[in-house]
Chains A and B, each alone.
Chain A
Amino acid sequence: MVNFGFAPLEIKIHDLDKSNLQLSSWIAERDETFTQCIACGCCTATCTAGKFTKFSFRELCHSIRRGEIAKAIAESEKCMLCGKCTLVCPRNVNTRNIVKLIRKANQKFKV
């Protein structure tokens, strides 16, 4: 193929028809609090890991809901399970348990 020195930009767009929501429902079945997030961002603001790396628990949950399983599993490694986010979450999302479930899913969903 001729190399023109540039390639079309890969535009990211969520196509919900093609999204793989298996992980999302797998977690929701095991921990109902996963469904109750209101995307307030308190967890991200207080996060210990987020002080050192670019990490957001809110984004992590959101990416699962949009079917980005590989990204979510990789991101979940950054959490130190300190539990600060659990203390601040206004919707009582069981954040640490959700991180643990995502890590467990690593084996189950094989990505």
Chain B
Amino acid sequence: MGKDVAIIGGGVAGLEAANQLATLGYNVTVFERNAQPGGHAAKWDRLFPNQRHSHEVIDSLKSHLNGNPAIMLSTAISTISRNGQKFKLDAKGRAFEADAILIATGFELFPAERKEEYGYGIYENVITSAELEEMFAKNGKPTMKSGETPKKIAFIHCVGSRDEKVNKPYCSKVCCVTAVKQAIEVKDSIPNAEVFNLYMDLRMFGPGYEDLYKEAQQKGVTFIRGRLSEASELDEGRLLIKTEDTLSSCPLKMSVDMVVLMVGMSPAIGTSELIAGLGLHPNKDGFVDIADQHLYPTNTTAEGVFVAGACVGPNNITDSVNAARSAAIEIHQYLSKK
């Protein structure tokens, strides 16, 4: 067939779509701005819902990168434009051509320092969920700045999600189950650790997620229904946190050794500018708009331009893989007619 497909983003979605499209006989190139493929999932230690090591999934996806699909690392695509029947891509002055485009630029972690009252970047033992994943990958357990092992840890749900004050009104979907998964991992890795989850709703939407919640309860994780109002520092790096225990209509405070902020999924930086060249606009939350919520979740309104993964909104790995396969079929149908 000899037709060229350009995939922007080498995360789970981009890599999976690349494998499918190469199998269908297209010349596929993945453009990835990082030096390594895999996107965010390459940074996670173990995955919900079954504690599988993330690198198993990433290694499997990467194992197909053998020339076709090809991957160009450290190559950020800054603009895409239509050029007759083809698309022209630009990466810092280098130009590429393709017959179809797949946007798979993923998401960005919400910058936690924007919720200043939570003390990220100010207090040394306030960390993000992503940083906790790194700690698990490195030491198998969380560690305080002092090197000590924390005995009391609070997970704060909805940081940079469901919050009009930071212009993030939407739910980031995976942080509830991630918080519950991490709470269990803390309980398993630090004997007698006290773990608290401050939540507003627990959105355990996927298969096996509610079971994780039950496991966390059974292991003694304390769930407190209330949003964190503020964190402040006590002596020796300890933190005081305040919320309302809404189930008893009563303010609640406690000291902890470590606060973990469940940062939300924000739109990837640069993607709105990227799609603007194709006449596409982000939706009201800033993610790439899709052609049809139910029937065409991986199409855009621009001919020849498709989407997959977290660039259309918060999702999990399963969603990304499903969308990638769906997009591969849509691209195949589009190119077969051309």
Spell out A's residues near B (CB within 8 Å).
11-17, 25, 28, 32, 35-36, 39, 59, 62-63, 65-66, 91
Contacts and interface: CB of A to CB of B under 8 A. Distances in A.
Main secondary structure, interface of B, reads strand
A70 to B, nearest CB: 15
Contacts, number: 43
A36 B221 CA distance: 11
B245 A14 contact: yes
B253 A16 contact: yes
Contacts of A63: 248
B251 A13 contact: yes
B214 A14 contact: no
Contacts of B245: 14, 66
Interface string B229-262: 0000000000000000101101111110000000
A62 B245 CA distance: 10
Nearest to A11: B251
B218 A62 contact: no
Interface of B: 196, 214, 217-218, 220, 222, 225, 245, 247-248, 250-255
Nearest to A41: B247
Given A36-B214, A39-B225, A13 B250 contact: yes
A14 B250 contact: yes
Nearest to B154: A16
A12 B217 CA distance: 26
Nearest to B255: A17
B254 A16 contact: yes
A14 B218 contact: no
Given A14-B245, A59-B248, A35 B254 contact: no
Contacts of A62: 247-248
Contacts of B217: 35-36
A66 B222 CA distance: 10
A15 B218 CA distance: 23
Nearest to B253: A15
A55 B74 CA distance: 64
The 3 closest A-B pairs by CB, nearest first: A16-B254, A14-B252, A35-B217
Given A13-B253, A14-B253, A35 B218 contact: yes
Contacts of A15: 252-254
Given A35-B217, A36-B217, A39-B225, A17 B251 contact: no
A39 B249 CA distance: 14
A36 B254 contact: no
A41 B214 CA distance: 17
A13 B252 contact: yes
Given A35-B218, A36-B217, A36-B218, A12 B250 contact: yes
A55 to B, nearest CB: 15
Nearest to A28: B220
B179 to A, nearest CB: 16
Nearest to B246: A39
A28 B218 CA distance: 9
A62 to B, nearest CB: 5
A63 B214 CA distance: 20
